[in-house]
């Protein structure tokens, strides 16, 4: 259990819409396992860390020499993302610094990898950039709807620690998050620390448990609960996970697409299986909420921006990515969303930077397994299992 | 002279047709064309890598509908829709009868009361119900204070909660056609039945109900058909645990990216509901003819 109550998260903008862009799939063991699996990367070859760029660390975006050579540097860029999943004044500032360039956002209303890819693939040219998780971006690459990353056009990419750059090679990594659970310490006598304990307590607290509606995160969590990799392709392990989930379902109060922790805050639910950033915000509202990073481990996502095939503003897209990673801009994004960050810098609020459930340390990642792309057949299979779980 | 009159009549007919053109155009463009596209999609397949639709003529999407996985939400949708329609009828009939028997300003006020909820957004009303039936919400406190329930009750995120939402939302659609049917009923018929010795229950059963059949059928159609394909209410009040047909269709488009199968599910539901509609309308015409 980590002390979410120790540190407050002051400006949290809950992801208003429907979870992240990666569904149906799963992930690697530890971050290092993911890195190994990713192999050679198309991202920057530089190994310089977060403090390596002096020009960027003062808060201004480093200029990109090759960006202007790639496509029009005027016009409007369209970013497919979640509502509010960027700095509050970020795009206005970008337009101010880049006269003739504007940014508009399109909301992804999807809750799974398949639907997000379908949305992009069926509307070629409609979007210039998209927020995507590792599985989504990997499948996009296979589907040929993603532009290869030009790291030379994004000098600020060097501010991101190498492990994240390697793990997210097709674009700029922006944030990551873990799925754990929280309970109300004032309403139950138990002090669970594992997935197994939660599963065992479910019949006792039937109807008092809520869960996020996101296939890969939930399936990954319950694979971890059984001691399996969240990226397993084993049919027997997936069947065991499904059996556990189906046994838990009668005890669930709700499977939620929004307001993940509302019932927990109000006390009408005693447990919430949810993302770290959301539970950090919930703990701020109610000090009796205790975050549990389960001892068996946690499923995690890593997401970022990718440039899409068909964009007429590729140079401008790289420029926007570079701008997003400038320390002050990146900090404004993290401070607004309260997400776990991939680019540590001095502008990030202490309440987030020092929050044990959000900050980036090797120990905080030691029990985390990141989602990986497992191929189209696995996407379909896991989607089917999730449907079966929801329909049961 | 006759030729001139014919020409004038023809011009008037042409003008009438021209007047209908915007409405027809709108319907073709925004109803028939999307419906046609949905039918075409339903025979296609999806590329698992790109999730792009490949048009073809496979029937496999329709075959998949009969899997147990999808039949459960279908049966749940029909059961909830039937229960909600019955509840709307039982609640709505006395209300419609009262309004039909009221006169003047009182009747206008009662009708206004039925229609007022429509002045608010459907989603907002559904979130209103969310708060009313929430644990420790106003309904819980009301039932407790009246001594009708003891201890804990849980309505939100249950099928009962979804049913309450459907009944609340669609009740006016039952009351209004019932009111129309009952309002045009001659009160002298009830008086005559009473004068001939019929007790109130017999008057209701033998006089009022038969005359109200067209209204009952119209009300049932207006409630049952949209309720069967309901998406928003189970989404908000069902908490993801009470899946209805609309949610399954939505999942195919928004979660799994399987547009062809989602289209097949939607087309199948449309066909079933059209069958029900045709059947009920034929009964309704017969009932109206009998009343006339």
For residues A334 and A331, give the distance between their C-alpha atoms in angstroms, rounded to a whole number.
5
Tell me the residue ranges of DSSP E strands in A185-237.
209-212
Tokens of B187: 């009160």
Contacts of A145 (CB under 8 A, 6+ apart): A117, A120, A121, A124, A308, A309, A310, B50
- In this predicted structure, the answer to whether residue A154 has a pLDDT above a threshold of 70 is yes
The C-alpha of B249 sits at a distance from chain A's nearest C-alpha, in angstroms, of 11
- Region of poorest pLDDT, from A12-26, A199-213, A316-330, B45-59: A12-26
Specify the 3-state DSSP secondary structure of A371: strand
- Region of poorest pLDDT, from A207-211, A233-237, A364-368, B55-59: A364-368
Mutation for A interface: B53, B257, B262, most A CBs within 10 A? B257
Mutation for A interface: B75, B255, B259, most A CBs within 10 A? B255
For residues A182 and A180, give the distance between their C-alpha atoms in angstroms, rounded to a whole number.
7
Give residue-wise pLDDT tens across range A191-203. 999 999 999 999 9
**Which has the higher per-residue pLDDT, A48 or B254?**
B254
Given a contact cutoff of 8 angstroms between Cβ atoms, the answer to whether A327 and A51 are in contact is no
Residues of A whose CB is below 8 A from B258: 114
Q: How many CB atoms lie within 10 A of CB B231?
A: 15
Residues of A whose CB is below 8 A from B51: 114-115, 117-118, 121-122, 143
List residues bridging with A298 in a β-sheet. A368
- In this predicted structure, the answer to whether residue A355 has a pLDDT above a threshold of 60 is yes
Residues of B whose CB is below 8 A from A386: 255
For residues B125 and A209, give the distance between their C-alpha atoms in angstroms, rounded to a whole number.
26
A207 interface with B at CB cutoff 8 Å: yes
pLDDT score recorded for residue A82: 87
- In this predicted structure, the answer to whether residue A234 has a pLDDT above a threshold of 90 is yes
pLDDT score recorded for residue A320: 97
Question: What residue of A is the nearest CA neighbor of B249?
Answer: A387
Residues of B whose CB is below 8 A from A207: 154
Tell me the residue ranges of DSSP E strands in B35-183.
45-46, 53-54
- In this predicted structure, the answer to whether residue A247 has a pLDDT above a threshold of 90 is yes
A386 interface with B at CB cutoff 8 Å: yes
Q: What DSSP string describes B60-96? A: HHHHHTTSHHHHHHHHHHHHHHHHHHHHHHHHHHHHH
Given a contact cutoff of 8 angstroms between Cβ atoms, the answer to whether B256 and A115 are in contact is yes
Given a contact cutoff of 8 angstroms between Cβ atoms, the answer to whether A368 and A221 are in contact is no
pLDDT range class, residue A42, cuts 50, 70, 90: very low
Its pTM stands at 0.78
Tokens of A374: 């497992």
List residues bridging with A305 in a β-sheet. A131, A172
Given a contact cutoff of 8 angstroms between Cβ atoms, the answer to whether B253 and B106 are in contact is no
Residues A333-356, mean pLDDT to the nearest whole number: 91
Q: Verify whether the Cβ–Cβ distance A254 to B253 is below 8 Å.
A: no
Q: How many CB atoms lie within 10 A of CB B144?
A: 14
- In this predicted structure, the answer to whether residue A334 has a pLDDT above a threshold of 70 is yes
Nearest to A70 by CA among A325, A320, A303: A320
Q: Verify whether the Cβ–Cβ distance B257 to A118 is below 8 Å.
A: yes
For residues A146 and A309, give the distance between their C-alpha atoms in angstroms, rounded to a whole number.
5
Q: How many CB atoms lie within 10 A of CB A108?
A: 25
Q: How many CB atoms lie within 10 A of CB B123?
A: 12
Among B residues 19-78, those touching chain A with beta carbons less than 8 Å apart = 46, 48-53, 69-70, 72-73
Give residue-wise pLDDT tens across range A60-87. 444 444 555 555 678 899 999 988 999 9
- Paired sense of beta strands A209-212 and A271-275, if any: parallel
CA torsion through residues A186, A192, A194, A196, sign: negative
For residues A119 and B100, give the distance between their C-alpha atoms in angstroms, rounded to a whole number.
51
For residues A360 and A342, give the distance between their C-alpha atoms in angstroms, rounded to a whole number.
7
For residues B292 and B290, give the distance between their C-alpha atoms in angstroms, rounded to a whole number.
5
For residues A279 and A183, give the distance between their C-alpha atoms in angstroms, rounded to a whole number.
10
Given a contact cutoff of 8 angstroms between Cβ atoms, the answer to whether A304 and A130 are in contact is no
Tokens of B209: 């109900």
pLDDT score recorded for residue A333: 97
Q: Verify whether the Cβ–Cβ distance B50 to A115 is below 8 Å.
A: no
Query: pLDDT 10s digit of each residue in chain B, 292 long?
Result: 567 777 787 888 888 888 989 999 999 999 999 999 999 999 999 888 888 888 888 999 999 888 888 888 889 999 999 999 999 999 999 999 999 999 999 999 999 999 998 888 999 999 999 999 988 889 988 988 998 888 778 899 999 999 999 999 999 999 999 999 999 999 899 999 999 999 999 999 999 999 999 999 999 999 999 999 999 999 999 988 888 899 999 888 888 888 899 999 999 999 998 998 888 888 877 777 776 6
Nearest-5° Cα angle at A10, A8 to A12: 115
% of chain A with per-residue pLDDT over 90: 61
Q: Verify whether the Cβ–Cβ distance A145 to B50 is below 8 Å.
A: yes
pLDDT score recorded for residue B2: 65
- In this predicted structure, the answer to whether residue A24 has a pLDDT above a threshold of 60 is no
pLDDT score recorded for residue A308: 96
Question: What residue of B is the nearest CA neighbor of A143?
Answer: B50
Residues A105-119, mean pLDDT to the nearest whole number: 75
Specify the 3-state DSSP secondary structure of A210: strand
Tell me the ipTM for this assembly. Answer: 0.77
Tokens of B232: 């928003």
DSSP B29: I
The C-alpha of A293 sits at a distance from chain B's nearest C-alpha, in angstroms, of 25
Name the residue among B52, B154, B254 with its Cβ closest to that of A121: B52
Q: Verify whether the Cβ–Cβ distance A112 to B257 is below 8 Å.
A: yes
DSSP B53: E
- Paired sense of beta strands A298-307 and A368-372, if any: parallel
pLDDT score recorded for residue B206: 92
Q: Verify whether the Cβ–Cβ distance A253 to B239 is below 8 Å.
A: yes
Size of interface A-B (CB pairs under 8 A): 97
pLDDT score recorded for residue B277: 87
């Amino acid at each position: 259990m980590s002390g979410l109550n120790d540190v407050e998260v002051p400006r949290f903008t809950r992801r208003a819409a429907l979870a992240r862009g990666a569904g149906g799939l799963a992930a690697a063991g530890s971050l290092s396992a993911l890195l190994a699996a990713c192999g050679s990367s198309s991202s920057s070859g530089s190994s310089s860390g977060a403090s390596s760029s002096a020009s960027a660390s003062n808060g201004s975006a480093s200029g990109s020499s090759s960006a202007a050579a790639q496509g029009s540097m005027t016009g409007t860029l369209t970013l497919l993302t979640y509502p509010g999943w960027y700095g509050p004044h970020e795009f206005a500032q970008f337009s101010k610094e880049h006269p003739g360039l504007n940014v508009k956002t399109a909301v992804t209303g999807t809750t799974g990898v398949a639907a997000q890819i379908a949305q992009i693939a069926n509307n070629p040219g409609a979007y210039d950039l998209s927020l995507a998780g590792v599985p989504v971006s990997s499948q996009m690459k296979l589907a040929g709807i993603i532009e290869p990353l030009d790291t030379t056009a994004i000098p600020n990419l060097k501010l991101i620690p190498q492990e994240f750059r390697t793990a997210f090679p097709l674009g700029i990594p922006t944030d990551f998050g873990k799925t754990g659970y929280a309970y109300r310490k004032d309403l139950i006598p138990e002090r669970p620390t594992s997935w197994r304990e939660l599963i065992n307590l479910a019949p006792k607290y039937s109807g008092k448990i809520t869960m996020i509606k996101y296939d890969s995160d939930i399936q990954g969590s319950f694979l971890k609960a059984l001691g399996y990799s969240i990226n397993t392709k084993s049919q027997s392990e997936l069947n065991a996970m499904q059996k556990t989930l189906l046994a838990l379902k009668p005890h669930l109060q709700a499977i939620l697409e929004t307001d993940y922790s509302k019932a927990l805050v109000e006390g009408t639910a005693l447990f919430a299986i949810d993302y770290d950033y959301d539970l950090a915000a919930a703990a701020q509202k109610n000090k009796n909420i205790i975050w549990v990073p389960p001892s068996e481990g946690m499923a995690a996502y890593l997401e970022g921006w990718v440039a899409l095939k068909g964009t007429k503003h590729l140079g401008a897209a790289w420029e926007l990515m570079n701008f997003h990673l400038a320390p002050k801009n990146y900090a404004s994004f993290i401070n607004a969303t309260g997400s776990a960050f991939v680019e540590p810098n001095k502008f990030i609020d202490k309440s987030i930077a020092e929050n044990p459930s959000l900050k980036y340390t090797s120990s905080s990642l030691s029990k985390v397994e990141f989602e990986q792309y497992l191929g189209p057949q696995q996407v379909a299979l896991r989607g089917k299992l999730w449907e079966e779980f929801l329909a049961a | 002279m006759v030729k001139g009159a014919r020409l004038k009549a023809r011009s008037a007919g042409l003008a009438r047709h021209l007047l209908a053109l915007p409405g027809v155009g709108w319907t073709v463009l925004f109803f028939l064309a999307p419906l046609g596209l949905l039918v075409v999609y339903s025979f296609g397949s999806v590329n698992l890598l790109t999730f792009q639709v490949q048009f073809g003529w496979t029937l496999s999407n329709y075959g998949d509908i009969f899997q147990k996985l999808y039949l459960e939400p279908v049966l749940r949708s029909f059961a909830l829709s039937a229960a909600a329609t019955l509840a709307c009828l039982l609640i709505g009939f006395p209300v419609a009868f009262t309004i039909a028997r009221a006169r003047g300003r009182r009747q206008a006020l009662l009708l206004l009361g039925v229609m007022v909820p429509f002045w608010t957004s459907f989603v907002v009303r559904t979130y209103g119900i969310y708060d009313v039936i929430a644990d420790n919400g106003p309904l819980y406190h009301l039932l407790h204070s009246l001594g009708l329930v003891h201890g804990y009750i849980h309505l939100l995120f249950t099928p009962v909660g979804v049913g309450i939402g459907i009944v609340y939302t669609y009740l006016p659609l039952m009351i209004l056609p019932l009111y129309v049917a009952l309002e045009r009923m001659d009160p002298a018929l009830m008086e005559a039945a009473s004068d001939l010795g019929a007790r109130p229950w017999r008057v209701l059963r033998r006089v009022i109900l038969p005359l109200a059949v067209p209204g009952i059928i119209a009300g049932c159609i207006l409630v049952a058909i949209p309720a069967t394909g309901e998406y928003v209410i189970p989404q908000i009040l069902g908490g993801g645990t009470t899946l209805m047909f609309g949610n399954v269709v939505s999942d195919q488009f928004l979660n799994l990216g399987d547009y062809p199968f989602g289209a097949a599910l939607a087309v199948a539901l449309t066909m079933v509901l059209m069958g029900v509609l045709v059947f009920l309308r034929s009964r309704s015409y017969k009932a109206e003819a009998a009343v006339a």
